[in-house]
């Protein structure tokens, strides 16, 4: 029996013992096909999924390599059934190809006629295809390129899309690397994307995804549409692009609720794209308003459903997805795979931290006890009010004050879900509050003040969850959240992970009410942190006060 670092489980998870001498080699060979699911301290868990295997096929790996990697590094014999299953699954990718035919345009060709027969019998496929040109080829309406890829994936026969991309309207874009350089992993991510044509780059918050986007634009040298989550984020993209590339302010347009500019590089928010008036999406024509050469999707894991629908029609354009996690709380990972593209690059959080590009963080859960009076009120609260009730308990205020006091002088963010609670906290801490109704100008002003160190404590609502670049934030205190969202946890942690000028550690506190659903939700989020490799502690409020 040989002594490999990998244990293959019957549910197709792979356990990798990180302390093992061969762990690094093993990680390198399994990363292309297995999704890192959990990375706690000692044993990392990878999961082999059909999507992961197809991702690997799309990246040019074959079943033999996968099987060989498993057999080579596995501590125990790998069940034959699992190897066979992997080979079978991988074999399904690429039996069907979407290709460009010089005469007929877009066609679906098969290397296996039986598979083509099978999918052509599907009711969902029939409306998407045209004439059968020969036994192995069928015409596909160019407008259905995305749709058919989605359906084929659902049928379990993912098509390889070799139909290529339109170049789009050329526009000179270069990286202005004056006094800074792309980090190696950012370069790799951009190269990986460009080589694959379309796809998703997975990088932790704070690892500089914007620059990967900029690098991709510099490669495309074409007009670009960037879709981001909100206006603040849009401004930040613009700011960053002006700073890091040859683009000027005038070349970058903002397409949001406030402004509707269409320029060679246009940054639009998901919100404006998905605004519906009288049953139609009035801003949809943005996609067709220019001959875009590249479309960048920021925070792909938040991509709203209608955008998927539009994206299906944009299959001839290069698409880059940027995200911190492929986990979608709605389970639409398959749509990301088929419509935006396979995963082209990912780097685990801890690895980038080890390289010093993101700050190490100390995670701590502070448990507060409800007063007897609050407990009674909590027990009788309506089910839908319960979380709100325990999450906003007054006891949290004292703990938050104590924590802020403890880190006095360091830039601190207090993050919460409920406006009332935030207002109270703002008052108690004597700190400005940024919430949904705060104007963008006011937000920018406050963020600038925070960045400059004029304000050391900022109370923010969930508007600040995403893409706000506050590099100096060192302490984050979360007092309430969107139930148990792991995504939100990742984003909030990301707020404090920008590398610090003085290199000291970031602190991430969650203040949680004991013995309530707040604690249950917190457990869910904490698990995510632990799985990302962050050791965390649980302390009682009394230890802080």
Partner 1 sequence: MSTGRTEDADGVRTLPRTLAEDLRGRDDAALSALLRARPDLVHPVPADLSQLATRSSTRASVIRALERLDRFSLQVAEALAVAADPCAPQELQALLGVDQDPDVAAAFDPAVAALRDAALVWGEPERLRLVRTARDVLAPAGGQPGPTGLGPLYADAGAGLSPTRLQEILADAGLRSTHDQVSALAALSALFADRKRADALLAQAPEGARGVLSKLTWGPPFGATPPRAVRAEDARTPVEWLQACGLLLPAGRDAVVLPREVALHLRGGLAHRQVQPVAPEVRAARTVDPEQADHAAAAQAFTAVRTVEEAMDLWSTESPTVLRAGGLGVRDLRRAAQALDLTEPHAAFWLELAYGAGLVAPDGEVDEHWAPTPAYDEWLRRPVAERWLLLARTWLAATRVAALVGTKDAKDKVLPALGSGLDRTLAPELRRDVLGLLAALPRGSAGDAASLTARIAWQLPLRGGDLRDQLVAWTLAEAEDLGLTGRGVLARFAAPLLDDDETTTLSRLAPLLPEPLDQVILQPDLTAIAPGPLRTPLAQTLAVAADVESKGGATVYRFTPDSVRRALDAGRSAAELHAFLAEHSSTPVPQPLTYLVDDVARRHGRLRVGAASAYLRCDDDALLDELLADRRAAQLRLRRLAPTVLAAQADPAAVLTQLRTMGYAPAAETADGDVLITRPDARRTPPRTPPTPVPDGPPPVTTGLLAAAVKAIRAGDRAATVTHRAPTPGPLPRTPAAETLATLQTAVLTGDAVWIGYVNADGAASQRVIEPVRVEGGFVTAFDQVHEEVRTFSLHRITGVAELADDEA
CA dihedral of residues 30, 35, 38, 41 (deg, nearest 10): 30
CB of 366 to partner 1, least distance (A): 12
CB of 518 to partner 1, least distance (A): 14
- State the sign of the Cα–Cα–Cα–Cα dihedral 113, 114, 115, 119: positive
CB of 403 to partner 1, least distance (A): 18
CB of 17 to partner 1, least distance (A): 7
Compare residues 77 and 127 and give the one whose CB is closer to partner 1: 77
Tokens 């986007």 -> residue: 213
Tokens 């506190």 -> residue: 509
| 100 alpha-carbon distance from chain centroid | 31
CB of 528 to partner 1, least distance (A): 9
- Computed on alpha carbons and rounded to an integer, the radius of gyration of the chain in Å comes to 25
Compare residues 73 and 450 and give the one whose CB is closer to partner 1: 73
Which residues in this chain contact partner 1 in the complex, by CB under 8 A?
1, 7-11, 13, 15, 17, 38, 40-43, 45, 71, 74-81, 514-515, 526-527, 530-531, 534-538
Compare residues 37 and 167 and give the one whose CB is closer to partner 1: 37
Compare residues 43 and 139 and give the one whose CB is closer to partner 1: 43
Contacts of 24 (CB under 8 A, 6+ apart): none
Q: What is the rounded distance in angstroms from the CA atom of residue 62 to the CA atom of residue 64?
A: 5
Compare residues 68 and 174 and give the one whose CB is closer to partner 1: 68
Q: What is the rounded distance in angstroms from the CA atom of residue 159 to the CA atom of residue 155?
A: 10
CB of 238 to partner 1, least distance (A): 39
CB of 539 to partner 1, least distance (A): 9
Compare residues 177 and 380 and give the one whose CB is closer to partner 1: 380
Q: What is the rounded distance in angstroms from the CA atom of residue 283 to the CA atom of residue 145?
A: 22
CB of 544 to partner 1, least distance (A): 15
Q: Are 366 and 507 in contact (CB under 8 A)?
A: no
SS (H, E, C) 95-153: CEEEEEECCCEEEEEECCHHHHHHHHCCCCCHHHEEEEEECCEEEECHHHHHHHHHHHH
CA of 107: how far to CAs of 139, 270, 305, 309, in Å?
4, 32, 27, 21
Compare residues 6 and 212 and give the one whose CB is closer to partner 1: 6
Compare residues 10 and 439 and give the one whose CB is closer to partner 1: 10
DSSP character for 474? -
CB of 23 to partner 1, least distance (A): 13
Q: Are 480 and 400 in contact (CB under 8 A)?
A: no
- 10 Å CB burial of residue 151 (0-12, 13-18, 19+) is buried
Compare residues 13 and 438 and give the one whose CB is closer to partner 1: 13
């Amino acid at each position: 029996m040989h002594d490999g670092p990998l244990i293959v489980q019957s549910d197709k998870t792979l356990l990798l013992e990180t302390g093992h001498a061969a762990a690094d080699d093993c990680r390198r060979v399994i990363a292309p096909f297995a999704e890192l699911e959990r990375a706690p301290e000692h044993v990392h868990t990878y999961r082999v999924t059909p999507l992961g295997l197809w991702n690997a096929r799309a990246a040019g790996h074959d079943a033999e390599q996968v099987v060989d990697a498993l057999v080579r590094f596995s501590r125990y014999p790998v069940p034959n059934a699992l190897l066979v299953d992997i080979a079978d699954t991988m074999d399904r990718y690429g039996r069907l190809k979407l290709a460009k035919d010089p005469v007929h345009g877009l066609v679906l060709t098969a290397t296996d006629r039986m598979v083509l027969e099978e999918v052509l019998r599907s009711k969902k496929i029939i409306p998407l295809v045209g004439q059968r040109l020969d036994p192995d080829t069928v015409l596909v309406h160019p407008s259905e390129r995305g749709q058919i890829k989605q359906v084929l994936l659902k049928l379990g026969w993912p098509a390889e899309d070799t139909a290529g991309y339109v170049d789009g309207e050329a526009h000179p874009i270069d990286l202005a690397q004056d006094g800074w350089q792309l980090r190696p992993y950012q370069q790799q991510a951009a190269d990986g994307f460009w080589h694959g044509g379309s796809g998703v780059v997975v990088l932790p918050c704070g690892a500089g995804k914007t620059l990967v986007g900029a690098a991709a634009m510099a490669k495309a040298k074409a007009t670009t549409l960037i879709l981001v989550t909100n206006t603040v984020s849009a401004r930040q993209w613009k700011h960053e692009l002006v700073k890091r590339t040859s683009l000027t302010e005038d070349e970058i347009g903002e397409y949001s609720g406030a402004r509707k500019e269409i320029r060679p590089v246009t940054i639009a928010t998901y919100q404006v794209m998905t605004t519906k008036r009288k049953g139609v999406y009035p801003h949809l024509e943005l996609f067709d308003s220019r001959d875009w050469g590249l479309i960048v999707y920021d925070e792909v894991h938040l991509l709203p459903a209608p955008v998927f629908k539009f994206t299906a029609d944009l299959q001839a354009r290069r698409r880059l997805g940027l995200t911190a996690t492929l986990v979608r709380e709605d389970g639409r990972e398959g749509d990301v795979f088929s419509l935006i593209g396979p995963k082209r690059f990912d780097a685990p959080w801890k690895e980038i931290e080890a390289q010093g590009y993101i700050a190490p963080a100390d995670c701590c859960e502070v448990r507060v006890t409800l007063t007897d009076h609050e407990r009674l009120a909590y027990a009788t609260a309506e089910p839908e009010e319960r979380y709100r009730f325990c999450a906003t308990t007054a006891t949290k205020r004292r703990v938050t004050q104590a924590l802020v006091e403890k880190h006095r002088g360091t830039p601190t963010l207090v993050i919460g879900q409920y406006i009332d609670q935030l207002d109270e906290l703002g008052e108690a801490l004597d700190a400005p509050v940024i919430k949904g109704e705060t104007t963008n100008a006011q937000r920018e002003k406050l963020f600038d003040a925070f960045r400059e160190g004029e304000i050391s404590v900022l109370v923010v609502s969930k508007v600040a969850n995403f893409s706000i670049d506050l590099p100096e934030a060192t302490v984050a205190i979360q007092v309430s959240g969107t139930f148990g969202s792991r995504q939100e946890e990742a984003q909030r942690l990301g707020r404090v992970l920008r590398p610090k000028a003085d290199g000291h550690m970031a602190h991430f506190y969650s203040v949680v009410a004991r013995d309530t659903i707040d604690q249950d939700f917190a457990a869910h989020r904490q698990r995510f942190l632990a799985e990302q490799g962050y050791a965390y502690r649980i302390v009682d409020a009394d230890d802080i006060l």
